[in-house]
Amino acid sequence: MDTFVIVIFLLTYLGMAFGSVRGLKLDRTGIALLAVVVLLVSGKVGVKAMGSSIDVPTLLLLFALMIVSAQFQLAGVYGTVAAKVAAASGSPRRLLALVIVVAGGLSAVLANDVVCFAMTPIIAEGIRQRGLDPRPYLLGLVGAANAGSAATLIGNPQNILIGQVGGLDFWSFLAACAVPAALSLVVVYATLCLMWKRELAATPAATDTGERPHLNHWQAAKGIGALIGLLLLFAAPLPREVGAMVIAGLLLASRRMSSREMIGTVDWHLLLLFACLFVVTGAFANTELARQWMESLAEHGLFPDNLRAMLPLALAASNSIGNVPAVMLILAVWPTPDAGALTGLALLSTLAGNFLLVGSMANIIVAERAAAAGARLSFGDFARAGIPMTLATMTIATLWLRAGGWMAW
C-alpha cells in the first residue's frame, strides 16, 4: 500500500472541499498543481506516467468548446443578452423567468461556467439599477445554468468528461436528459418565487436607457454557424474532440478577431485543474487501497450503478469536493460503468451542484463575480433556495431515469 500517494490524494481532495489553504493564496487549481509537483519530486509519478494518465481528448474537447464560446463572448452576445434581460419590462417574476430561460438555454450548448462568468456582472448591475434585490436573479442565473447544462454532453465540464470516458452518443444523451433538465428549470423558477417571495414583490424602476454592450452581428452569426456545424459533426463518425477542434481552428482563422484574444478567453485554470486531477486520481487508482476499495464496494453492492447508491453519492460528493472533482474520482475507481449509469451520473451530479454554494464551479463563479459587482451572495442565500430546488430536481431526475430504464432503483 503506497501510503505517500494516498496521503497526497487525500490532502488534494480535502483542498478541493475547502477551496483554499489557510495562510496561503492557493485556490483549487493551485492545490492540485502543488500535489502533482510533490508526486513528481517524490518519484511516485514519472513524467511519462503523468502524460499517460491525462485524458487528452477530454482536454481538447473542453478547449475547443471554450473557443466556440469565446466567439460569442467577443462578439458581445453574452453582454447584449444579459443587458436586454436585465432591462426588460414587466414584473420581477417575469424578469426572473427571462433570466432562467436564457441562462438555461445558453448553458445547454455553450457551457455553464462561461455563461455564468459573462452574464453575472451585467445581470447584477442591471437588476440593481432597477431598484431590485439582485440575489434571487443571480440564484436564478446559476440554478438555471446548472440545470440547463445537464441536458447535453457539452453543457458543463463533468458531462464533457463523462461523455468522453464513456463514449456516450450526444443525441442519445440529449434524449435521456432534456426532459428532466427542462423540468428542473421550472423547479428553479417555482422555488425562487416561493423562497424569495418578498424580494420578488417589489416594483421595478423604469427600464434603463443607458449605453448597451456592442453586438457584432456578423461575428455572432459566425458563432451560431460554428455551433450548428459542431452539432452536425457530433452526428458524424468522427471523434468528438477532432470535430470540435476543426470548428475551433476555423474560428481562430479570422480576419477580424485576434486569435490571441480568443485564446486568452480560454479558462486555462480549469484546463490545468482537470490535467492535475487526472494525474492525482490516476496515481491513487493504481494503489492497493483503491483496489481494495473497489473490491469492497463490489462485494457490498455499493457501486453507483443503481439509483440507491448513485443519489447519496452524487449529492454528498458534489457538495463536499465539487461535482467536477467528484466525477473524476468516481470514474477513476469505477471499473466498467454502462451508458445508463454514466448518464445518471452526469444528470444527478450536475443537479446536485445546486445544493450548496460549493457544489459546482459555476456557483463559485457567480458568487465571486457578483461580489466584484457589489452584490454579495452568501452561503446562506444560496442554501435557502438551493437545498429545496436540488431535492426536487433530483427527485424528478430519479423518477425519469427509472421510468426510462436508464437506471434501476
Mean pLDDT per 10-residue run, the chain (409 residues)? 82 77 82 90 85 82 86 84 79 89 88 82 83 89 93 88 86 93 95 89 66 79 89 83 89 86 85 85 79 70 76 84 78 79 91 86 83 83 90 94 86
The pLDDT of residue 302 is 63
Q: Which residues pair with 47 in a beta bridge?
A: none
The pLDDT of residue 209 is 47
Beta carbons of 99 and 108 less than 8 angstroms apart: no
- 3-state SS, one letter per residue, for the chain: CCHHHHHHHHHHHHHHHHCCECCECCCHHHHHHHHHHHHHHHCCCCHHHHHHHCCHHHHHHHHHHHHHHHHHHHCCHHHHHHHHHHCCCCCHHHHHHHHHHHHHHHHHHHCHHHHHHHHHHHHHHHHHHCCCCCHHHHHHHHHHHHHHHCCCCCCCHHHHHHHHHHCCCHHHHHHHHHHHHHHHHHHHHHHHHHHCCCHHHCCCCCCCCCCCCCCCHHHHHHHHHHHHHHHHHHCCCCCHHHHHHHHHHHHHCCCCCCHHHHHHCCCHHHHHHHHHHHHHHHHHHCCHHHHHHHHHHHHCCCCCCCHHHHHHHHHHHHCCCCHHHHHHHHHHHCCCCCHHHHHHHHHHHHHHCCCCHHHCHHHHHHHHHHHHCCCCCCHHHHHHHHHHHHHHHHHHHHHHHHHCCCCCC
- pTM value is 0.81
List Cβ neighbours of 20 (8 Å cut-off, separation of 6 or more): 26, 27, 31
Return the C-alpha cell found at 298: 463490489
Beta carbons of 283 and 290 less than 8 angstroms apart: no
List Cβ neighbours of 340 (8 Å cut-off, separation of 6 or more): 401, 405, 406, 407
Distance (Å, rounded) from C-alpha 273 to C-alpha 325? Answer: 9
Phi-psi region for residue 164, left (φ > 0), alpha (ψ -120 to 50) or beta?
alpha
